[in-house]
Amino acid sequence: DLTPHPATRELAWVHRPVAVTFAPGSAAAFVVHNRRSHCSLSDLRGVAVLLVAGEPMHEETLEISLAPLQHETHEFSTALQAAIAAAPATATMTMQFRWTHRADTAYAPAGHLVAWDELLLRASETKDLPPPLGADTKVIADTNVSADPQPADAIFTSMVRLALMRAPIDNDGYKLMPGFGEANRIGGRALARWQRQGILADTIPAGIQHVQQRQVHDDGSVTYQHRVVVPDSLAHLPRIGVRFALPSEFAHVRWFGRGPHENYPDRNSGAMRDVWAREPDELPYLVPQEFGLRTDCEWIELVAPHSRVRIDALSPATLHFSAVHHTRCDWLHQTRA
């Protein structure tokens, strides 16, 4: 359909011409690898950026020209080490490396991004409470301050509930021919299993225990704590999480986590930790299916013209989320229509 899909960005990262890794045995040095077999890196401009809690704090140009298939180790510069030392002791810290064309080429203009990598210098940590924000923000803390005396989640059009379902993908089974794969012992078996368990009907199977604690604070912010116990007989569920809905006026999303494209735990190496912003995802595939996840997020903001709802991950320190216009049941029913 001539429209770029999320997998094209993932493919570009897999085949990137230059890669950056930590130097063996060192947290203050990196190795640049020229993955090309035919030319140096002289046509590329490299930049290293230090991000603290998703905000750029230091940037420097990398003047590197490696011969084909060669690599080179570089120590962190004095200025970079000083910026690292000055950062808050508990903030997530990453180094991003970006490589762009110095000049126009036959297939891309100068400045076109051809390679990117990330080094995690300090991982996110669990938090007791999120930091206070402006008066236009309603905060939902998942384990700040709002002038509105109502609870922050009062704006939800459907309240927080356990979610075990995701829209099936092709590897789960034959979505258009229920029972065909199982009867002929071909294709994925997960779809038929989830059908028997009632998960695809959006029900909670017997044996699953979910305890949800909701605490409303004086400032209107709300803290949720969830405990889900799944018996061995129900292992390999599609998903274990929660879901809720907001009015359609919340038409933009900001998050600090991996992006900008959709990414999943088994394919997120090419998605960088940063502060990203966009509209809720539209279906990027020809057949309705699961899509739109963002992984390793510390916070998410759902933005309307005059207000925001912010969700902070407290413990664990990160969560995965998706913001879409339709429910997973909608996509499943559309697939079978």
What pLDDT is attached to residue 14? Answer: 96
Structure tokens at 242: 């929660």
Nearest partner of 98 among 54, 45, 52, 35, judged by Cα: 45
What pLDDT is attached to residue 326? Answer: 84
User: pLDDT 10s per residue in the chain (337 long)?
Assistant: 666 677 888 999 999 999 999 999 999 999 999 999 999 999 999 999 999 999 999 999 999 999 999 999 999 999 999 999 999 988 999 999 999 999 999 999 999 999 999 999 999 888 876 655 455 566 666 654 344 457 889 999 999 999 999 988 888 887 777 677 777 878 788 888 888 888 888 889 999 999 999 999 888 889 999 999 999 999 899 999 999 999 999 999 999 999 999 999 999 999 999 999 999 988 888 788 889 999 999 999 999 998 999 999 999 999 999 999 888 777 776 655 5
**Domain annotation for the chain: domains and CATH numbers:** 6-122 (2.60.40.10), 137-336 (2.70.98.10)
Neighbours of 225 (CB within 10 A): 14
Rounded Cα distance between 22 and 41, Å, is: 19
What pLDDT is attached to residue 135? Answer: 55
Per-residue pLDDT tens for 170-179? Answer: 888 877 776 7
Across the strands, what pairs with 252?
A: 303
Reported in sequence order, the residue ranges of the chain that DSSP labels E, i.e. its strands, are 18-22, 29-34, 44-52, 55-62, 71-75, 93-101, 113-122, 137-142, 158-163, 209-216, 222-229, 241-245, 252-259, 272-278, 294-297, 299-304, 307-313, 319-321
Structure tokens at 284: 């990027």
End-to-end CA distance of the chain: 21
What pLDDT is attached to residue 196? Answer: 87
Q: Residues with Cβ < 8 Å from 69, sequence gap 6 or more?
A: 34, 35, 36, 37
